[in-house]
Structure 1
Amino acid sequence: MAENSDLSVLIVDPNPGMRGNLHNMLAQAGITKIDYAVSSGTAIRQLAKKPFDIVLCEYDLGNGSGEQNGQDGQQLLEDLRAHKLLPPSSIFIMLTSEGVYSKVIGAAELTPTDYVLKPFTVDMLQQRMRRAITRRAVFLPVHQLAEAGNIGKAIEECRSREAANPAYATDFARLRAELLMSKGEYAEAELVYQIIVINRAIAWAQMGVARCQFAQEKYADACATLEGLLSAYPKFMAAYDLLARTHEALGAQETAKKILEDAVAISPNLVGRLRHLGEVALETGDVVAAEKAFKQVVAKAKYSEFRDPEDHVKLVRTLVAKGDTGQISGVIRDMERSLRSSANVDACRAVAAGMLHEMTGNRKGAATEFSNAVSAIAVSRGLSTELKVGVVHSCLNAELDAQASELMLNLMNDTDSGVSMDDAVQVFEKAGRHDLAEGMSKEIKHQVEELIEHASEQRSQGDLRAAVDTLNAGLRKAPANMSLALAATSAILKQLDDLGWEAQLGKHCATLLGRMRLLDPHHAALAQLEAQFAHTQRKYGIAALVESEHQRAGDVRPVGDQVPRDKVQSA
């Protein structure tokens, strides 16, 4: 089959005989560009080097002796999805003789393109592959645009192909909704999903509606949608995860824990869900459930190329709550033996050891380890904000004021941390350290003044877009700073006047004006800026912008800032 000659395939199977059989089957289909992986680790390394058109993956990636010495196909797929090593345009087919329902449903909920039960014939495999390849060809242009970062063009391509391919119209609508969500256009994406639900009542479309409602913070609506979905489809696993997060957002952690426990009982192998269950259980004080969940996470992730040392820290935190010093030492030893040395591992080991010393009353040992943790965090990459804020609190308890302030300042200046300047001050205030909070406030004031001055220079040099970007970056760190909001609004209005109307920028300007009305409704500059905004809208024939959901709710975060403040406060 000449049409398949350009396709590349990765076979993931530890059995050399099965690899040979699959090679022969592929050759009969005209496919010759074939690579091999004998384990999840080698598969990940192959996929990190280059993408493959098709991945044929054996579910059981053990050594054939029954010993579980590696990840299974489900855990591999979970890692590939989480770390974006499997492009949407790639075909992933799971090959399995697994008869255990919980494992099969676990693989299915990670949405492989297909899964084929053994034994299978050449004709059967070719038929499944042909169907997947045909579908892939229809969607490939859209995926290529999206992978290149041209989301707007990808959405337009979806629209045109929707009309030209009626057999795939619903699938193109789904892809269009996903692309809209990736742009943060949740209301429009929700409408697309709602139309699909009305016309077809498809479960994934109901899930899409709920995801959009959650993103817009319409939590009650999301709960109702998800509960209706699970009533009709009680094995739709992703709905449990989102329903749990929705109840968390509503402050109902106990309900969230019960939902996750129900999901784990149905499909017990997804590491991400087990981790989430452990976190919620620990938050609710259920140390028995938290310990069980985190132990499973550590065990199941043991052979992953992406092992997260924070899982060990979470297990240690649970054992501290339980008062089990004996097990903590074992967890730390396991971390030292089984994880490759790195700054992240060093930081997590020091945090865990510090918690153990703290628990046993060794204040000097705890202070040493927490100081070591701060040093390691400074050169680490990818550690969570929650862990870092926890270390700040530990440093305060150990009277390491300088280290606590240094780490908090770094978090505040990290655009990806989600820690605003107000959050940084509140951490110290809540710890009863008004002196440190005052020092942080002075540093923040100095940084804001420097940022406004820098933006003013950019604006005076005619670089309006750079000035707006600079001020918006500052607002993400200090969303309630009136000086920044005023400067940003003024810069945006100047850009809109001089360079033309941009819908998203206009919406952002309206949001900033609404925020300033909440912060200081009598500020002398506010009326002038509102009048200027109205004049700019009239200039371009734009109808007056209505207040956004964020303004009506009294939300003072910038547009697009989705970081929940309780993540910082509860750490």
Structure 2
Amino acid sequence: MQENSQLSVLVIDPNPGMRSNLQNMLNGAGINKIEYAVNSGTAIRQLTRRAYDIVLCEYDLGSGDGQDGQQLLEDLRHHRLISPWAIFIMLTSEAVYGKVIGAAELAPTDYVLKPFTAETLGARVARALERRAVFLPTYQLVAQGNVREAIRSAAAAGIAHPRHALEFARLRADLHVSIKEHGEAEEIYRKVLDYKPLGWAGLGLARAQFAQGRVEDARETLQVLVAANPRLMAGYDLLARCHEALGNQAQAQKILEEAVAISPHMVRRLRKLGEVALEAGDTAAAEKSFKQVVSKARYSEFRDPEDHVRLVKALVKRGDLAGASGVVRDLERSMKASPELDACVAVSNAALHDAAGNRTAAVADLQGAVSAVRAGSGLSTSLKLGLVRACLDHRLDQGAQDVMMAVVNDADSGITSEHALTLFAQAGRRDLADGVQQQLKAQAQILLGVADEKRNMGDVRGAVQTLLEALHMAPSNLQVTIAVAGGVLRQINELGWDHPLGELCYAQLEKIRAIDAQHPRLGPLETEYQAMRRKYGIS
């Protein structure tokens, strides 16, 4: 009892009688630090403010948007509002349990089936605390950024605690994925599947295959997986991505429609369906999906003003300018607190004015959107790229360049200078591509100088991070490539072998060889690379 007195608990349940019963049960177990949430919105706000040791969540939240406890958990995990070691226990009926247990990629710590007694709840809490104690050393290593040591810890713990061996195998695979070691993760998933056909392992295998560029293999794995686990929703999502990657937008749309028919309330999936449908030319389906997204997210803590922009674009493509104008007005009324409001309104109005043939007004709105991006507006990469294309269509050359530079300078965008050059070239504007390339080359040169300063101050890790920023801006620049290879080798020499950095170094050496096989720095760098492998016993 005494050890429970320091535990904090959040109870999420819309029923006041059930909240009272849970309080009595928890008090009986010596737990008195209890707070309450009546729906997903209040729960998210409370979890944003503070962390809890235990979350007890009713599956049927009675939310107006149809969100249930499982979807709330997925939102919390997706937005990292609860730590990996937080205890999340779902309270549900036996009938519902049978439906959700196979569908949940992000499973709760435990399920408690109703009706239950205080003894049952206490036993489940005790079991969850015992499990957390087993996993906590590994999770603490992850929190410290020591992923390699965490993988070793998980491997040892899986042997020491055979009851949790499969969970530790999953954790090890996830950790390998986090440092882009997809081959190692694939090997773990295959070993698990040889032992038992678990849905999460099949999904992990498909993700590893997809990450390694084996899209057709991933598609085949997922088709078998979804047929055997028709409620494993994340399987549909990845299968749709496979079809997208293979250029089959219509099939991707069909897969997502099947998923939405099974689980109609997940906003991220509805949003993706709308985007895929719009790309496939099915504007009616896109409009339907985006309308649902706007409606379901209206009371969400994760509202995105870009959902209104997407709906406006779908309505404009359908020729419903009046409806699109109404969506813009709703955006202005309902999203006043959003820092992206001005940019989203400007992009939406530009699309409306274009459709109405008012190019002068469209240009004015596009200029406003560009100004918002220059000021640091947190628009998505896809919306910024759409803005670049619109600027090109209206000969707003400087605006197109400025927005593209903002995209490329954002390391999280996934867009490199080579992508930028391709987009401008496709628009027939190689002159703008050359301008962007010169700006990026100049920025990369500045970063090389910053990296030198950090190295001279003894900050080898910081120097490498700066070099990676330069590489993102100028991936084909020989000077940058050589600097990255040398910087990585210095960090490895001083701080120890790091597998992803070792692979990165090897890739840069291959790039140098492809650009200039006779370069005088290539031989010494290769010699140093092999020496580091021998030093740390890398086979």
Length-normalised TM-score, structure 2: 0.90
**Distance verdict in 2 for CA 1:462–1:114, change over 3 Å:** closer
Q: How does 1:197-216 map onto structure 2 within 5 Å?
A: 197-216=193-212
Q: Distance in 1 between matches of 2:383 and 2:49?
A: 31
Output aligned runs, 1:106-505, within 5 Å: 108-116=104-112, 118-380=114-376, 382-455=378-451, 466-493=462-489, 503-505=499-501
1:42 corresponds to which letter in structure 2?
T
CA distance in 1, matches of 2:212, 2:505: 19
1: distance between equivalents of 2:311 and 2:124?
Answer: 42
> Unaligned stretches of 5+ in structure 1?
547-571
* Structure 2 Cα separation of the partners of residues 403 and 507 of structure 1: 37
- CA deviation after TM superposition for structure 1 residue 507, in Å: 2.6
Supply the distance in 2 between the matched residues of 1:322 and 1:362 (Cα, whole angstroms).
18
C-alpha distance after superposition, 1:452-482 (max 9, x if no partner): 4444565677765554443322112222223
Deviation for aligned residue 1:4: 2.6
2: distance between equivalents of 1:69 and 1:235? 21
Mapped pair 1:525 → 2:519: yes
Deviations 1:358-394 (A, max 9, x none): 1111212212222222222334554211101111222
Determine the C-alpha separation between the residues in 2 that align with 1:509 and 1:84: 31
Could you say if the C-alpha distance between residues 286 and 480 of structure 1 is closer, same or farther in structure 2, counting changes exceeding 3 Å? same
| Equivalent residue runs for 1:32-111 within 5 Å | 32-62=32-62, 68=64, 72-96=68-92, 108-111=104-107
Compared with structure 1, are the counterparts of its residues 539 and 11 closer, same or farther at alpha carbon in structure 2 (3 Å cutoff)?
A: closer
Partners of 2:337 and 2:300 lie apart in 1 by: 15
Change (3 A) 1:106 1:79: farther
- The 1:220–1:497 alpha-carbon spacing in structure 2 relative to 1, beyond 3 Å, is same
Shift of 1:285: 0.8
**Residue identity matched to 1:541:** R
Is 405-414 or 124-133 further displaced after alignment?
124-133
1:221-272 alpha-carbon deviations (Å, 9 max, x no partner) = 2122222222322222211111111222222222222211111122222111
SS at match of 2:444: helix
Report if aligned partners of 2:250, 2:280 keep a CA contact under 8 Å in 1: yes
Aligned mates of 2:352, 2:199 — CA distance in 1: 47
1:5 is paired with a residue whose SS is helix
User: C-alpha separation between the residues in 2 aligned to 1:28 and 1:545?
Assistant: 55
Contact 2:91–2:113 (CA under 8 A) maintained in structure 1 = yes
- Structure of greater relative contact order (alpha carbons < 8 Å, 6+ residues apart): 1
C-alpha distance in 2, partners of 1:389/1:11?
43
SS in 1 for 2:141: helix
Amino acid at match of 2:527: A
Aligned letter for 2:13?
D
Q: Note if contact 1:106-1:269 (Cα within 8 Å) is conserved in structure 2.
A: no
Partner Cα separation in structure 2 for residue 545 and residue 3 of structure 1: 46
- 24-33 or 223-232: which moved more? 223-232
**Partner Cα distance (1:326, 1:153) in 2:** 59
Q: Which whole-Å CA distance do the structure 2 matches of 1:100 and 1:218 have between them?
A: 36
Q: 1-side partners of 2:492 and 2:37: how far apart?
A: 54
Distance in 1 between residues matched to 2:93 and 2:532, nearest whole Å: 67
Code of the aligned partner of 1:156: R
Indicate if the aligned counterparts of 1:40 and 1:70 stay in contact, CA closer than 8 A.
no
Determine if the alignment matches structure 1 residue 14 to structure 2 residue 14.
Answer: yes
Instruction: Return closer, same or farther for 1:513/1:321 CA change in 2, 3 Å cut-off.
Output: same
Q: SS of the residue aligned with 1:514?
A: helix
1:92, distance to aligned residue in structure 2 (A): 1.9
Deviation string for 1:2-47 (max 9, x for gaps)?
4432321101233433322221121122211101123323222211
Question: Conserved in 2, the CA contact under 8 Å of 1:344 and 1:377?
Answer: no
Cα distance change on mapping 1:160 and 1:453 into 2, 3 Å: closer
The answer to whether the Cα contact below 8 Å between 1:10 and 1:55 also exists between their aligned partners in 2 is: yes
- When residues 461 and 166 of structure 1 are mapped into structure 2, their CA distance, relative to the original with a 3 A threshold, is closer
Q: 1:77 to 1:337 in 2, by over 3 A?
A: farther
More divergent stretch after superposition (411-420 vs 101-110): 101-110
| 1:85, distance to aligned residue in structure 2 (A) | 0.3
Give % identity: 53
